[in-house]
Amino acid sequence: MGEFFTAILTFPTALFTFALLVVAGFWLLVLFGGAETDMLDGTESGSAISGSDALGLGGVPVTVAVTGVVALSWFASLIGTVVVGATGATGIVAILAGTVVLVVAVVAAVAGTRLVVIPLRRFFREDARLSRQDFIGRVCVVRTGHVDTEFGQAELTSADGSSAIIQVRQSALHAVAAPLVRGDSAVVFEYDPATDAFWVAALEGN
């Protein structure tokens, strides 16, 4: 166990260990409703989307692509670090070897993530093809800790029985009367194409 911790805290794996902790923290926030899976896909982060597309990782949320690259980079780097350590390299030789491991790990991680992204694209494209207007008047269930004018996600079941996670917003006026929290049912009454989000109101009887 001691050798394992030494490896994950040795250059270059230490860089990916930190990144992996950040990614794990992000998904914990998503799990508890403190963040959204597509938070990097907004108009203000177009450069992130462009970078993802340039690497062949487009078609899925940027956060999913980043998670794949970080996780695979960490794993590949860990293997490389163990191999370099077994050679007994020290000093400048160890640094140069670590740099090579860093580059190879990232390249391998991007290639590996591409393979994972390919089958996932189909699911995200299917969600995108659903007509947004078909959701108007339907009932959804809140999946985030709260919903306000700038944040919120809910699960909605479409007419064909398939479910989708949608971005939802609640006006301040509605929030005062009946604030929405995780597990509450809400009705979709309007779609905002500018933000690709749906305005919802609490369903009577929550």
pLDDT in tens, the chain (206 residues): 778 989 999 999 999 999 999 999 999 998 887 777 777 765 444 455 556 767 888 888 889 999 999 999 999 999 999 999 888 888 899 999 999 999 999 999 999 999 999 888 777 665 554 567 788 999 999 999 999 999 999 999 876 677 888 999 999 988 888 899 999 999 999 999 888 899 999 987 66
The angle subtended at Cα 70 by Cα 82 and Cα 98, nearest 5°, is: 35
**What is the distance between the alpha carbons of residues 13 and 74, in angstroms, rounded to a whole number?**
6
In this structure, what DSSP letter does residue 34 have?
A: S
Which CATH code is given to the segment(s) 132-202?
Answer: 2.40.50.140
28: its two tokens: 């914990």
- Helix, strand or coil for residue 120? helix
82: its two tokens: 């163990």
CA 103 to chain centre: 24
| DSSP H or E run through 155 | strand 153-157
**What is the distance between the alpha carbons of residues 62 and 12, in angstroms, rounded to a whole number?**
24
**What is the distance between the alpha carbons of residues 189 and 140, in angstroms, rounded to a whole number?**
11
**Greatest Cα pair distance in the chain:** 69
Task: Answer yes or no: pTM beyond 0.85.
Answer: no
- Asked if 36 and 62 touch (Cβ cutoff 8 Å), the reply is no
pLDDT of residue 42: 53
73: left (phi over 0), alpha (psi -120 to 50) or beta: alpha
pLDDT of residue 134: 80
- Asked if 110 and 55 touch (Cβ cutoff 8 Å), the reply is yes
Q: Which of 34, 33, 53 is nearest to 143 (CA)?
A: 33
CATH 2.40.50.140, the chain: domain bounds: 132-202
pLDDT of residue 43: 42
